[in-house]
Amino acid sequence: MTTDDILREMGLGPIWRLRTAPAAMPAEELIAPAPLAPDPLPQTAPALEAAALLSAVAWDELAATVAACRQCRLCETRKQAVLGVGDVNADWLFVGEGPGAEEDQRGEPFVGQAGKLLDNMLAAIGLKRGRDVYIANAVKCRPPENRTPAPEEAAACRPYLERQIELIRPKLIVALGRPAAQTLLGMEVKIAAARGKLFDYRGIPLIVTYHPAYLLRTLPDKAKAWEDLCFMRRTMQAQKGG
Ligand code: URA
């Protein structure tokens, strides 16, 4: 069975459609990240230094810095660093884990099978890559064999993501999967427990959901991802004042 067959069986192609009007935003409280366990991404001295150095850079300089980055060993095996793609004034920011083989080759996040599913998920809530949406990853260089980025790799790369968020100033951040959520929140995250909650990233609401690659492997969680999409939409509507 090909991924296309699976997608069809999941009802994900060509697009998920919102059949019911989203309910009003419940009165939710923002959850400030409180480390549950030792911070998986401690703010090391080099990371703090990098954050300070980046705090004034604009997009061009950020892109050049990331392209030339040698802060961790991922630079040794990458074809190129993958900064992100989309509208730099977007209200929506989606953050994945790290580039895979196709992303490393093409220099754009989420262009493989998981990316097709992400595009369908975006379409389901009326969004389109590049239009009011920015897509980035927790780490900008491909981890070999598509392994999960190591904590020190995510920590070395975090200042770049932080600067991207400062520049974009999105109204909502969506963390796709555990590594993205942990990088952004600086705490241990279990997706099943974190879904449906509103976290706070430096004053910006943050929602955690499954990574599209996980959804491709785990059909039963498709319904939960759908709930998460509806929650995102309601949250954005509330952010925009109804
Ligand atoms: N998975 C990710 O987390 N990011 C990509 O860019 C591609 C696949």
How far does the centroid of ligand 1 lie from the alpha carbon of residue 97, in Å?
6
> pTM of the predicted model, to two decimals?
0.86
Q: Are 74 and 97 spatial neighbours (Cβ–Cβ below 8 Å)?
A: no
Task: State the pairing for strand pair 199-201/172-176.
Answer: unpaired
Phi first, then psi, for residue 94 (nearest 5°) are -105, 130
| 112 contact partners, CB below 8 Å, separation of at least 6 | 100, 101, 102, 103
- 132 with 168: CB under 8 angstroms? no
What string of pLDDT tens digits covers the 242 residues of the chain?
444 444 454 445 445 555 554 443 444 456 766 543 445 555 667 777 888 889 999 999 999 999 999 999 999 999 999 999 999 999 999 999 999 999 999 999 999 999 999 999 999 999 999 999 999 999 999 999 999 999 999 999 999 999 999 999 999 999 999 999 999 999 999 999 999 999 999 999 999 999 999 999 998 898 999 999 999 999 999 999 96
Rounded distance, CA 201 to CA 82, Å?
23
Mutation probe of ligand 1 site: the residue of 80, 94, 97 with most atoms within 8 A of C-beta: 97
* Cα(233) to centroid(ligand 1), Å: 22
Pocket of ligand 1, candidates 85, 105, 110: which has the most ligand atoms within 8 Å of its Cβ, to mutate? 110
Say if strands 84-86 and 133-137 run parallel, antiparallel, or are unpaired. Answer: antiparallel
Per-residue tokens: 12 = 């994900």
Beta strand segments in the chain, E: 84-86, 92-96, 133-137, 172-176, 199-201, 204-209
CATH 3.40.50.1820 is right for the domain spanning 3-11+38-239:
no
